[in-house]
Amino acid sequence: MKYASLFSMSLIAMTLANASVSGAHADENAKKTHPRRAQVNKRLKNQQKRVNQGLAKGSLTPAEAQKIQGQDAKIRAEEQRDAVAPAGK
């Protein structure tokens, strides 16, 4: 009886651990494919293209371009932190 109880407890613990890992994996995949993440990255890519065009045309100074790129770097860093943060945090 003692061994059956120990076996049952071990089986329950393994099941819970597996469910926890599966849930974490699902959260990770959801974050990588979350539509808002794609939208943010697409917007940043488009903005970088506009900055390059502005520099080429002379409508942006190098200082203005650097300021915009610094702001974009902060957005990228925030997006990356959000991607690795636990769900709901």
Q: Closest by alpha carbon to 18, among 6, 10, 28?
A: 10
The DSSP secondary structure of the chain, one letter per residue, reads -HHHHHHHHHHHHHHHHHHHHHHHHHHHHHHHH-HHHHHHHHHHHHHHHHHHHHHHHTSS-HHHHHHHHHHHHHHHHHHHHHHHSPTT-
pLDDT band of residue 85 (cuts 50, 70, 90) is confident
- Higher per-residue pLDDT: 75 or 9: 75
Mean predicted lDDT score pLDDT of the chain: 74
pLDDT band of residue 17 (cuts 50, 70, 90) is low
For residue 82, how many other CB atoms are within 10 A of its CB?
14
pLDDT tens sequence across 19-55:
544 445 545 555 666 668 888 889 989 999 999 999 9
